[in-house]
A and B are shown apart, each in its own frame.
Chain A
Amino acid sequence: MLLRNAWYIAAWADEIGGEQPLGRRICSEPTVLFRDGSGRAAALADRCCHRAAPLHMGTVVEEGIQCGYHGLVIDGSGRCVHIPGQKLIPEDARVRSYPTVEKDQMVWVWMGDPAKADPTAIVDFPYHNDPGNGPTSTTCIRSRQITR
């Protein structure tokens, strides 16, 4: 059993951004992390609502993440905003999204009931923001041995 109503660290802030989304399994769930057009971090179920292709194999575009199988675009809230060759977007064209907070150079996700996600419950890591002592500096040792 896993605790779901909790904030988990999904990634370091500098792991996401650019065209390439990041796929990561959290609490057994395949998730995908990326930054939307405004730079906001987003976490979605790593499963396109169309044919279940993993979204982490897609590309980050201005409006969200574009699935690499048939080209649907899903925004940071999980809503499908574009279907190639089709004008109408069905109501149920949605992917689960997880509450996401970027804080102290880390991306936190809430894997449980979204209504209970309280960002004030996230612990502080203030020293991550100290100049010369951040996670990208040599004084902070960081393991890159993350496997999916």
Chain B
Amino acid sequence: MFLRNCWYVAGWSHHFPEDDLVTRTILGDPIVLYRKGDGGVVALENRCCHRFAPLSRGRKEGDDLRCMYHGLKFAPSGRCIEIPQQDIIPSTAVVRSYPVVEQDCWVWIWMGEPGVADARLIPRALNHDHPGWLMLTGELTYDANYELINDNLLDLTHLSYVHQSTLGRNSMSWGESRPKTARIERGPRIERWVVNHPRPNYLGLPPGSLSDMWASYDYVVPGVFLLGTKSYPTSMAADCRMLPPTAEPDWVSSTSQAVTPISEHQTIYYYSSCLSRTFATEEHSRQQMAVIERAFAEDRAMIEAQQDIIASTPEARMLRLSSDGALNQFRRLMAGLIDAEQVPGVAASSAAEVRQTREEAPHAIA
């Protein structure tokens, strides 16, 4: 099941050059995307309404797209505006057109009812395309259901295990800490001090150089991860009595990541790595991205193997631990929104009014 009335990342802005027809499968829908003369991105169903030829094998004509099987021409609205050798264009000659908004270097697509697409629901990525920040981007395809990737990002204790030699830096700081989880409008906000955390190797500091790192992220519908970290000399966490820091950090980073289901069985994951130019160089930025990409390969190996196990033992249940609070909160939020969409007429109001209504069950384990 997918949540349809929401914005998904369809790709990075640079994935959509001026003259290309780009194909994507999102929530199982085949889609073709291209840029109009004014730079705006159009997303159409990638299936001609006549004989189902893929429009991605067609030809851009100005802002329109012509199917190159039998020549039907479609406007960005999806309406057929020309049928060769036929004067009358039936009102049913139309392909689905999806609302698109380009923001923060991402192209966002609304997969639900077009009439309720509200651009204000798009979360702002952190420090993308910002002059004060170094930014690198990437994407990765998983042979796994999107929920397993959401789960992964909602419980970062796995950094000490899956990413022991990469992001975890051979420290138990992530694995043994429990974050504070608060409820924000579209998901949980998860914050913690990662105490006595080793500094990145690429800084070339003496071995054993530690920091206290404040890590705070929002995880919002339908699967957008927005993390900022601030590093300090050790003892800052204690000095702050484990509360959020106010002092100037000596290193800051951010990453924004978006999980977009291709189908029930496949998911694409877009991610950035941003470092503040105040502290970092381009070489640091490249090295940071290299670590992130090694780490995401570790995630993929684990999550795809987890998916295989779930497929072969579908009846077995998972065990709830104290580290799963945010994960379960987000699963309930998504399930509630998806449920609401299944009722005709409710989809629109649920999309417009996205506040979480369900109360979180008290933690069974603390």
Chain A residue numbers with a CB within 8 Å of B1 are none
Asked whether B68 is an interface residue with its Cβ less than 8 Å from the other chain, the reply is no
Q: Which of A46, A66, A85 contacts B322 (CB 8 A)?
A: A85
Taken together as a complex, chains A and B put the C-alpha atoms of A70 and B302 apart, in Å, by 11
| Beta-carbon contact of A30 and B312 below 8 Å | yes
A interface with B by C-beta (< 8 Å): 28-30, 45-47, 49-54, 57, 66-71, 83-86, 88, 90, 92-93
- In the complex, what's the smallest C-beta–C-beta distance from B215 to chain A, in angstroms? 15
Q: Given contacts A51-B151, A69-B162, are A83 and B305 in contact (CB under 8 A)? A: no
Contacts of A86 in B (CB 8 A): 321-323, 365
Do the beta carbons of A57 and B322 come within 8 Å of each other? no
The one of B178, B305, B313 in contact with A53, judged by C-beta atoms closer than 8 angstroms, is B305
Given contacts A69-B306, A88-B366, 17 further A-B contacts (CB under 8 A): A29-B313, A46-B309, A50-B318, A50-B321, A51-B319, A52-B306, A52-B309, A54-B305, A71-B161, A83-B321, A84-B175, A84-B176, A85-B177, A86-B322, A90-B320, A90-B321, A90-B364
Task: Give the shortest distance, in Å, between B121 (CB) and chain A (any CB).
Answer: 29
Q: B156-176 CB contact bits vs A (8 Å, 1 = yes)?
A: 011011100000000010011
A47-B316 CB under 8 A given contacts A53-B309, A69-B302, A85-B322: yes
Note all chain A residues with C-beta closer than 8 A to B305. 53-54, 57
- Say whether A52 contacts B316, CB under 8 Å: yes
Contact of A57 among B157, B302, B321, B364 (CB under 8 A): B302
**With A84-B160, A88-B365: A53-B155 Cβ-Cβ less than 8 Å:** no
Evaluate whether A85 and B319 lie within 8 angstroms (CB atoms) in the complex, with A52-B309, A68-B162 already known. Answer: no
Q: How far is the CB of B176 from chain A (nearest CB, A)?
A: 4
Q: List 16 A-B contacts (CB under 8 A).
A: A28-B312, A30-B313, A47-B316, A50-B318, A51-B306, A53-B305, A57-B302, A69-B306, A70-B158, A70-B321, A84-B157, A84-B172, A85-B323, A86-B323, A90-B321, A90-B364
- Bound-state CA distance A71–B173 (Å) is 13
Give chain A residues whose Cβ lies under 8 Å from the Cβ of B366: 88
Q: Bound complex: CA of A6 vs CA of B158, how far in Å?
A: 38
Residues of A within 8 A of B172 (CB): 84
Number of A-B contacts (CB under 8 A): 85
How many residues belonging to B are interface residues under a CB distance threshold of 8 Å? 31
Point out the residues of chain A lying under 8 angstroms from B354, CB to CB. Answer: none
B113 contacts across to A, CB distance below 8 A: none
User: Is B323 a contact of A93 with CB atoms below 8 Å?
Assistant: no
Interchain nearest-CB distance for A98 vs B (Å): 14
Q: Bound state CA distance, A54 and B306, in angstroms?
A: 6
- Contacting residues, chain B, for A70 (C-beta < 8 A): 155, 157-158, 161, 175, 321, 323
List chain B residues, Cβ under 8 A from A71: 157, 160-161, 175
B contact face: mostly helix, strand, loop, or mixed? loop
What is the CA–CA distance of A92 and B308 in the complex, to the nearest angstrom?
Answer: 23
Contact A50 B322 (CB under 8 A): no
Give complex CA distance A28, B313 in Å: 10
In this assembly, does B310 line the interface, its C-beta being within 8 Å of a C-beta of chain A? yes
* Chain A min CB distance to B124 (Å): 30
B297 lies within 8 A of chain A by Cβ: no
Is the pair B313, A68 in contact by a Cβ cutoff of 8 Å? no
Closest-CB distance, B202 to chain A (whole angstroms): 25
Complex CA–CA separation, A52 to B308 (angstroms): 9
CB of A19 to closest CB in B, whole Å: 13
Provide the residues of chain A in CB contact with B176, threshold 8 Å: 84-85
In Å, the complex CA distance between A143 and B308 comes to 26
Give the 10 A-B CB pairs with smallest separation, nearest first.
A85-B176, A84-B175, A49-B319, A71-B161, A54-B305, A53-B306, A86-B322, A50-B319, A47-B309, A52-B309
Q: Which residues of B contact A54 (CB under 8 A)?
A: 305-306, 308-309
What residues of chain B lie closer than 8 Å to A84, measured between beta carbons? Answer: 157, 160, 172, 175-176
B301 within 8 A of partner (CB)? yes
Residues of chain A contacted by B323 (CB below 8 angstroms): 70, 85-86
A83 to B365, CA, bound (A): 12
A52 vs B306: C-alpha distance in the bound complex, in angstroms?
6
Q: Please indicate the chain B residues that have their CB under 8 angstroms from the CB of A57 in the complex.
A: 301-302, 305
Query: B29 to nearest A CB, angstroms?
Result: 29
Q: Please, which residue of chain A has its CB at the minimum distance from the CB of B299?
A: A69
On chain A, the residues within 8 Å of B178 by CB distance are: 85
Name the distance in Å between A31's Cβ and chain B's nearest Cβ: 11
